[in-house]
Structure 1
Amino acid sequence: MRTTLCLYTFNLDLEKQRGELRKACSKYGHIAQPARRVNTTMRLAAFRNLMTDETVLLTLPIQAYLITSSDEHQSIDIDGFEKRREYISGFSGSYGDAVVTLDKAALWTDGRYHLQADEQLDCNWLLFREGHRGVPSMSKWLREQLPAGSRVGLNPKIVSRYTWDALHGSLAAHGISLVALNVSLVDVIWPEEERPPRTVKEAFVYDIEYAGKNYTTKVEEVRSELRKVGADAMVVTALDEIAWMLNIRGRDVPNSPYLRSYVVLDMQKVFLYVNSSQLNGTVRSHLGIGSRIVKSDSVYLRDYDDIWTDLRTESQYYKKILVPSYCVYSEGASHAIYQHIDPERRLPMQSPIIYLKALKNQVEIKGMLEANVKDSAAVCDCFAYIEQRITDGENFTELDVVRILDEYRYEQRLSLGNSFRTVVAFGENSAYPNYEPTINTNTQIFTNSTIVLDSGGQYFGGTTDITRTLHFGSPSDDVKEAYTRVLSGMIQLSMLTFPSRLKMAMVDVVARSALWEVGMDYFQDTGHGVGSFLGVRESPIKINFNSKVSSEQTFKPGYFLSNEPGYYRDGQFGIKLENILQVVDKPWLNHGGHAFLGFKVITLVPFEPNLIKLELLSPHQRRWLNKYNEQIRQHVGAELKRQNRMHGFYWMMDKTKYIPENGSRSLIANLLLAVTSTAFICFVV
């Protein structure tokens, strides 16, 4: 029996390593396909025909083609017009790379999307689950599939230089070459009537009332950083960096206030490459466009596509031009951008703007705090409404709750909508870390399982990101224990005090220890940076014990980040909790020249008392929870009263009742204290 079980497990591991472990893809007979699955048979056939058509390629045939999730600016969230990987594969998650060869198709994605990808990819596709033992990287798989002399095609505008170099270095030694194609093959087979139109909306000025600094000051700050590294110019390709530096915002990207554009900045001028029809008179006046008085911060307008000719010619005027490289969630400039600048003039470096915008000024900090109070009030009022209606026996589906939660957020003053697509996941669906309900998967919400609500808003003052797990019935002991262990990790990270030189990766152990104690874990990052009316996922902040970049970064006062531990039991339920933290200085703790930092929680929404096993929380953690609830009553309670949202107010008051703080310390509390103390000692000594 044991031998049979071991053999079965071994076979499953082999299938996973080969990408063949797929739901409803048996080789024997026909099995009903998941509702979310997209049939890509005809798309792949048309695509493969192009791979050998030299009249389309304008070069020799290729044996494989890579499709990334990016647009030209390596954005995390992209316009529907740019979703080439989703069209060819059917997989709609925000992260994943697809490779099509003449006889196979494969997709790589991380732990957030393993379950979702398995549901959406049809049986034409292999699924490689990143993070699992023995699963090959894309480059290793290509080396195994392709003989020497093979050619792998890519669109150089939507592939970062970082990705290009990594692939080139791995494949070249095996005689496999990368080919930068002047045509995007997905664009050729994507019918115009099926492709969403490109979003082109008017830009607007982000007033100093919210930005805290004039764009002219920011431009000079960037120039100062360029001088430090010996550069006399920089090409800015990331949309969030352009929005921050010029104090302009747009609506060209879903859920993020960006204007599709490029910038070339030198020591005398600022060149903005954009669709000029998107700039009204107010924006032009703000940027000094067309002004008779020429200043070093005046902006010169260029057509969006002129970047490709100008880089070839005008970059010759510079000795060194900084070209952004990889940094955490920022891929850096595309391979095409690098191609258009002479190698001897390139200075590949992480963009200094990443670190300048991550460090919020006092006006931005105030705006982030106010935005999160307003947002927390909206969420409390919405949860009160939903809980009451479901308890009264009304029927709600996941999409109903998405619509309601979005509406409550839109009603808030200075709200510009969501910071990402709202996630409402009930029951089995909540076991998908990044599940997004669709018409095909929309599930009715009952009182017999958890419901995960992950959402965020964009406000003129800041960006929000919050997740809560609710249960409208009587949760099982397993569910309550999982919830409490996730909550325990969240509390421990929130309470942490640490030396300023501590690496980000190290704090992850605090958030995961309660789960690790009983063999639980999650594949996702524990935290990411959060922008100020910018991206909800912002570099350079990333919390993951297994991440190289996390082990190189440190926290700074003025950073904002998420704290989002979770647990997902496949086919049963999911738990996720998320708050935004502000990194704060603790000057009273300075000792021997060592500065100490801590966190301030700015998301203020109650946790679900019905899901908490108090015996798993230490007295210290219970005390923290009582103080947190007191902050909610003070700040969000006042906001709910100001908005006359009394239903939400009474719901909030009921969920933040005092809990007893006395009681014996559990084993988990001792373990967490020991881990925290060890990490503290290691980095102070």
Structure 2
Amino acid sequence: MTSLSFGSTALRQQAASLNFTGRGLCFRFALNLHSYGRPDTSRSLKQGCTLPLRAQQPFRQKGLQLRAMASANGAAADERVVQLRAKLKEAKVDAYIIPTADAHQSEYPAECDARRAWISHFTGSAGTAVVTQQHALLWTDGRYFLQAEKQLPKGWTLMRAGTPTCPEISDWLASNLPEGSVVGIDPLLHTVSGAQELHQRLENEERRLQPLGGVNLVDSVWGAARPAPPAAPLRIHTLEHAGASVRDKLGRMRKELAEAKAGALLVTALDEVAWLLNLRGGDVAHNPVFISYALLTTTSAAVYVDSSKVTPEVQAHLEEAGVEIKPYDALLSDVKSLAAAGKRIWTDPDKVSFAVKTVALEGATGGSRGKGKKRTRSGAATADDAGDAKVRRAAVLEKPSPVTAAKAVKTAAELKGMREAHLRDAVALAQTLHWIETEVGQGGRTITEVEVDEYLTGRRAAQAGFVETSFPTIAGAGPNGAIIHYRAESSSCASVDSNTLLLVDSGGQYDCGTTDVTRTLHTGQPSTHQRICFTRVLQGHIGLDQAVFPEGTHGLALDILARAPLWEMGLNYRHGTGHGVGAALNVHEGPQSISHRIGSAGTPLAVGMVLSNEPGYYEDGAFGVRIENLLVVKEASTPFKFGGQAYLGFERLTWCPLQRKMLAPEVMTQREVDWVDEYHKEVWEKVSPRLQDQPQVLEWLHINTAPLELQAEHLGKKQPALAMA
């Protein structure tokens, strides 16, 4: 049976049949603001060339339609909002919340599910739109303020989340909607985690939250222009690269089920399904995942996916592992049946949709939940309802997915693949930086940001096992470098001439691993101010790179190491310092991160986790600086182990020179100079053997990895004041 993608017709018909009113469930909408500083997220689609593993469906095509819809004029956007407001009236709701996420809470949805981008024209990876009859608002975080200012059409209001004057969505709704107002949501697109926040806030203010089954209101406006669902074939992620068989992984999850006293595990996150089944797909640009669910019991396992994507090889792979292939649309009915049979279903409250949990609870109570029960003034059932805490605990175990933690700690095979992917990537990076410095810096040629993107993508595509970019390349020249998740467009991109500070943040998906790297370079002579800013960022990067910390330490405790050199100058950056990275999977993954946000403190770093190290500094309207390597957590060698506790540190994965002329020796210590020399020595040793047939690039690498040879009298003798540009 062929199904549509997230929220397919059949799935929405099932959702529409549910009685969402008076659920007895607490519901909140969680704004998808990530604690790390990447497009993330995201985590910005770019063009490229035909690729080895996806030749029949080049990745460059996946971004064209979304980019086109995001750059339409304001009049078109106004008409979309006008039509959506008419749909609100028909649905009898006063406000409608439009998240970035799809039914699987993906950071990057497929084009057909990019509803928030379509209605608002804002294409950043994090944000939430709210539309009422009088207002159209977009909440997003500091990474995207400049981008949103440029992309939002007339009539939209940017809500700068995380700033002192910006209210939470729930507070804004409670304060700006009149009593008796109804706030609508699509129950397939919202989680049930932390339900009290929005449901209770609205109820306390005489407002009501109303899940709307059936057709999504944005989809009803989008109509025939909505992109077709993705249909990329699945491919096997080999045991050589995975390091554990599907049977081994299923066995590990079944042990978790037994310990948790649950009867079934529902896996909804796309990267978790892909990891669990050793499969990869191409349904979402830059993320090698496929639209699916997985449902595991103590005796069975099933994947819910469009069968047209399943090749004979993949079918045999799944059959050997004991995994049944079922239609995507069969998920809700199977969940309901399991719950009706008394199986306690383990769901991740931050990932499972409100609709799926509702189905489980109705199955557990025979579909009679809420009948004849006393209601609150909002229409929600009281604690006497059959959906009270006791019934919910019996039907659904709400706990973080065990797949999340298992996936975060890489196997030896995955780490081997990640190291190889970064060496392949290093060749493409060296070729590109050599080209920029030769063509522009020395040759005086003027190129564009898009040309930088296309050249780098082409060099990556020439590497063995390249699949696609791991996120849309950020090539920001001058002021555009200050837009943290900038996306260059051929029609409006900036030029890169012989006096340009250029920030390039990019990554690749390979058959064996995933990369993410940022370098900042100048094609001419940087100012003293720019060099000092760059060096302060580098000092923070070095501080985190060299960290040694006790086992059990959270990323929150390490974040200050990257910020302290900037703080000394009264400077800072608005994004997190590090995010988790998947192995031949999503470039953003949790649960680990390195961030200053208190909410990021939940998961300690563990041996085998991969994270980014990416401090930065940005001056609006002037320039941006970011330096990013990927790191893997390893056990550190220390002379003592206080309390018998292990101590941890980092191993570098990224090998790309830092531009020497961007350094400010006058603010560097000898230890920092030694770090740069040691790093460059390793870059040369690891990358030069792969450039033997490219003498010009090899010579460039040799020059740019030579020792700095700075004399002690030139180091750290003064602390120049920064003249803000």
TM-score relative to the length of structure 1: 0.87
Whether contact under 8 Å (1:492, 1:621) holds in the other structure is no
**Contact map agreement 2:78 2:154 (CA 8 A) in 1:** no
Which gives a bigger RCO, structure 1 or 2 (Cα 8 Å, sep 6+)?
2
Rounded to whole Å, the distance in 1 between the matches of 2:108 and 2:637 is 38
1:269 to 273, 279, 300: 300
Letter in 2 for 1:381: Q
Secondary structure of the residue aligned to 1:108 is strand
**C-alpha deviation, 1:553, in angstroms:** 1.9
Alignment match, 1:189: 221
3-state SS of paired residue (2:266)? strand
Matched, 1:658 2:707: yes
C-alpha distance after superposition, 1:572-627 (max 9, x if no partner): 11111110001010254423312100011110000111110012121111111111
Note if 1:298 corresponds to 2:322. yes
Q: Alignment partner for residue 274 of structure 2, among 207, 219, 243?
A: 243
CA deviation profile, 1:109-141 (whole Å, cap 9, x unmatched) = 011100000111122111111121121111111
CA distance in 2, matches of 1:42, 1:592: 65
Cα gap change, 1:585/1:95 in structure 2, threshold over 3 Å: closer, same or farther?
same
Amino acid at match of 2:343: K
Q: Is contact 2:74-2:154 (8 Å) kept?
A: no
* Alpha-carbon distance in structure 2 between the residues aligned to 1:76 and 1:618: 40
> In structure 2, what residue type is equivalent to 1:377?
V
Match of 2:347 among 323, 327, 351: 323
Q: Is the 8 A contact 1:379 1:405 kept in 2?
A: yes
Gaps of at least 5 residues in structure 1 are 1-33, 290-296, 327-331, 670-685
Q: Name 1:517's counterpart in structure 2.
A: 568
Structure 1 counterpart of 2:352, from 333, 340, 345: 333
1:16-415 to 2 correspondence within 5 Å? 38-39=74-75, 40-53=77-90, 57=91, 61-162=92-193, 165-182=196-213, 183-193=215-225, 195-288=226-319, 297-326=321-350, 332-342=351-361, 343=392, 344-390=394-440, 391-415=442-466
The separation in 1 between residues aligned to 2:125 and 2:475, in whole angstroms, is 17
| Preserved CA contact (<8 Å) 1:431 1:573 | yes
The answer to whether the aligner puts 1:537 opposite 2:574 as a matched pair is no
- Per the TM alignment, residue 163 of structure 1 is displaced from its structure 2 partner at its CA by 6.7
8 Å contact from structure 1 (residues 225, 352) kept in 2: yes
d(CA) in 2 for partners of 1:419 and 1:340? 35
Deviation digits for residues 626-683 of structure 1, max 9, x if unmatched? Answer: 1100100000111222xx23332221111112013653774899xxxxxxxxxxxxxx
Query: 1:654 is aligned with what amino acid?
Result: I
Cα RMSD between the aligned structures? Answer: 1.7
Is contact 1:527-1:563 (8 Å) kept?
yes
Count of matched residue positions in the alignment of Structure 1 and Structure 2: 614
Distance in structure 2 (CA, Å) of the matches to 1:512 and 1:663: 25
The answer on 1:560 being equivalent to 2:610 is yes
Report the Cα distance in structure 2 between the residues aligned to 1:207 and 1:449, rounded to whole angstroms: 44
Distance 2:453 2:499 in 1: 20
Corresponding residue to 1:425 among 476, 483, 492: 476
SS at match of 1:592: helix
Mark the CA change 1:648 to 1:163 in structure 2 (over 3 Å): closer, same or farther.
farther
Residue identity (%): 35
| SS, match of residue 658 in structure 1 | coil
Distance 2:294 2:342 in 1: 15
Is the partner of 2:153 in helix, strand or coil?
A: coil
* One-letter identity of the residue aligned with 1:479: Q
Note the residue ranges of structure 2 that are not aligned, 5 or more in a row.
Answer: 1-69, 362-391, 720-725
| Per-residue deviation, residues 144-178 of structure 1 (Å, max 9, x unmatched) | 11122111011111112227553223222212211
1:216 aligned partner, one-letter code: R
Q: Which residue of 2 aligns with 1:3?
A: none
Q: Distance in 2 between matches of 1:35 and 1:582?
A: 38
Change (3 A) 1:263 1:463: same
Write the distance in 1 (CA, Å) between the matches of 2:263 and 2:503: 49
Q: Which amino acid aligns with 2:654?
A: T
1:579 is matched with which residue: 629, 632, 642?
Answer: 629
Preserved contact between residue 120 and residue 152 of structure 2 (Cα < 8 Å): yes
Query: Residue 85 of structure 1 aligns to a residue in which SS?
Result: helix
Q: Is the 8 A contact 2:660 2:704 kept in 1?
A: yes
Contact 2:421/2:515 (8 A) holds in 1: yes
What does 1:481-496 align with in structure 2 at a 5 Å threshold?
481-496=532-547
CA–CA distance in 1 between the matches of 2:480 and 2:511?
33
The Cα offsets for residues 293-350 of structure 1, whole Å up to 9 and x where unpaired, read as xxxx511121111112222223322432100123xxxxx1111111111233100110
The AA in structure 1 aligned to 2:634 is V
Equivalent AA in structure 1 for residue 278 of structure 2? N
Check the 8 A contact 1:381/1:647 in 2, yes or no. no
